[in-house]
Structure 1
């Protein structure tokens, strides 16, 4: 399944994208196993301070690790190169499709908005321009959409990239079966791939999203409109959303926390509390890993994500005490666990528990009541 705003691919472009997908699979599979063994051989042992960081540093003394890390980065850069060339070829057509989208929903871009420095200064995921690149059109959103499907090897809902939105809805149905928000907001909505499906489960709700990237929002608006979803999008920061106090019944995010500036997770929880009406629900979906529960290589890999994939908040996001943070922000009835990934949520669904089933098979979810 696809949608009208998604950039297509010629025969040769598809071959390139499939090659990159398979290369990334090889690098993260068979080629990575040797590095896992090398890390174990360098292990200073239990009780060592900053054990994973020490092993990460020691690994750089091995030519095999340096070569593997270089190939890993090169495969990521190659992903954006091949998808970016395809998007640029279709730039005029994509702008025309955006202009022809149904006149529903809205997008508001504040020209005085100041992009958070950690996102302005780094290309997150090595994507040229990161989340905030902007040529005045929709190309950066198209790059993220098509590139995201390849980046995640099609495991997040194929070309729709929407499984996280369905999974968030499944969690809401499980914990709050009678919940029916009238106004909902996604923090860090990106191209709307999670906002649109989740809002679809609450057809009477007014759906809003904010993000730091203007091009992402223009693309998201056109994408949503072509899918028949009236969503209202604004340029904004998850730590200081451009809405009055107690504006929403549901505030949620999908894999936004690990993109925050380090040290600001608590501030985001406070902001969610401010935005919610009494009795409203907060929900955050994140990577299905807890740092303390990872094996040694998983922790080392977290260092790789932070330093070589421009994900500086990765360790903090997987280490945070969300029960404490949500409680300190004033929330009650807090639940932290893992929700089974799904492409279709239904009331009465379960699938929420204390054990992760692994990346793309489940997602870490934190929810509470204001």
Structure 2
């Protein structure tokens, strides 16, 4: 399934995008397996836990690792290049589709908004312009949406990229079957791929969403409206949201935490507590890895994400003790675990446990009550 705002690919563009998809799959498959073996040889035995950074440094002495790391980064850059060219070809069409979107929801772009410095200084995921890139229209959002579909290799709900939203809803329906929020907020909404399904599960709620990119939000608004969702988007920082105290019944995020400025996870949780009404629910969905259970290569991969994919908070996000941090922020009835990925949330279909079944099959979730 697709939607009206998604940039289309002609024959040649589709061939390029499929090539990039297959190249990335090849590099993360059999070629990466060889790098894993090299890491094990360089640092065998019980020293794994203490010597991740040293192993990472020593790997750079190997030509095979340097070549693999360079190809992996180049494949990521190539993905954005081929998707970007396709989006640029359709810029006028996409602008017209945005202008013709149904009159649902809203988008508010504050001219005095200051992008958080750590995002302004780097292009996260190597996406040119990063989250905050803005051409005055919807092009950056279109780049992120189509690029995300290629990046995820179709494993996050195909071209809708919305499986995480359905998964978050599944957790809510399981833990809080009688929950009927009147106001909902997503922090770090991106192009709205998670907030749209959440809005669908709670059709009587007023739904707001914030992010740091103006183009993303214009695109997200048009995308949501074409999909029939009335969502109110505006610029905002997840650790300093532009809303009054106790404004919401549900505050959630989807893979936001690893994009925060290092050292601010606690600040974001405290902000969630401020924003929620008494009895309100907080829910955060993240990547399903936990640093303390990873083998050596898994931990080295964290260094690779931070250094070569501009993900400086990756290690902190998968290392944090969320149960303790949520309690410290003032929350109660804390649950931390893994939610089975789904394309449709159904009341009573739990899928929540303390066991991860791997990336895209499950997502780490943490929820609590104010």
TM-score, normalised relative to structure 1: 0.99
Shift of 1:48: 6.4
SS of residue matched to 1:29: helix
Partner of 1:320: 320
2:164 maps to 1:160: no
2:368 maps to 1:368: yes
Task: Find the aligned partners of 2:44 and 2:104 in 1 and give their Cα distance.
Answer: 59
Partner of 1:239: 239
Task: Find the aligned partners of 2:176 and 2:37 in 1 and give their Cα distance.
Answer: 44
Structure 1: 5+ residue runs without aligned partners? none
Task: Find the aligned partners of 2:75 and 2:113 in 1 and give their Cα distance.
Answer: 33
Structure 2: 5+ residue runs without aligned partners? none
Partner of 1:205: 205
1:104-143 to structure 2, matched below 5 A, reads 104-143=104-143
Shift of 1:186: 0.2
1:71-150 to structure 2, matched below 5 A, reads 71-150=71-150
Partner of 2:278: 278
Task: Find the aligned partners of 1:365 and 1:51 in 2 and give their Cα distance.
Answer: 29
TM-score, normalised relative to structure 2: 0.99
Kindly provide the CA deviation profile for residues 251-271 of structure 1, in whole angstroms up to 9, marking residues without a partner as x. Answer: 000000000000000000000
Shift of 1:80: 0.1
Verify the 8 A CA contact 1:134 1:140 in the aligned structure 2.
yes
Verify the 8 A CA contact 2:48 2:296 in the aligned structure 1.
no
2:267 maps to 1:249: no
Kindly provide the CA deviation profile for residues 110-168 of structure 1, in whole angstroms up to 9, marking residues without a partner as x. Answer: 10000001100100000000100000000000000000000010100000000000000
Task: Find the aligned partners of 1:76 and 1:234 in 2 and give their Cα distance.
Answer: 29
Kindly provide the CA deviation profile for residues 5-24 of structure 1, in whole angstroms up to 9, marking residues without a partner as x. Answer: 00000000000000000000
Verify the 8 A CA contact 2:183 2:248 in the aligned structure 1.
yes
2:312 maps to 1:297: no
Shift of 1:51: 1.7
Task: Find the aligned partners of 1:320 and 1:50 in 2 and give their Cα distance.
Answer: 18
RMSD (Å) for aligned C-alpha atoms: 0.8
Shift of 1:46: 2.3
Partner of 1:184: 184
Shift of 1:44: 5.6
How many residues matched?
Answer: 370
Task: Find the aligned partners of 1:355 and 1:312 in 2 and give their Cα distance.
Answer: 26
Shift of 1:304: 0.1
Task: Find the aligned partners of 2:50 and 2:255 in 1 and give their Cα distance.
Answer: 25
Task: Find the aligned partners of 1:68 and 1:218 in 2 and give their Cα distance.
Answer: 37
Task: Find the aligned partners of 2:148 and 2:76 in 1 and give their Cα distance.
Answer: 11
Kindly provide the CA deviation profile for residues 35-86 of structure 1, in whole angstroms up to 9, marking residues without a partner as x. Answer: 0000000116425674211111110000000000000000000000000000
Distance 1:43 1:183, change over 3 A: same
Task: Find the aligned partners of 2:240 and 2:43 in 1 and give their Cα distance.
Answer: 42
Task: Find the aligned partners of 2:210 and 2:284 in 1 and give their Cα distance.
Answer: 15
SS of residue matched to 2:132: coil
2:56 maps to 1:53: no
Verify the 8 A CA contact 2:163 2:194 in the aligned structure 1.
yes
Shift of 1:359: 0.3
1:331-342 to structure 2, matched below 5 A, reads 331-342=331-342
Verify the 8 A CA contact 1:207 1:232 in the aligned structure 2.
yes
Verify the 8 A CA contact 2:186 2:195 in the aligned structure 1.
yes
Verify the 8 A CA contact 1:44 1:51 in the aligned structure 2.
no
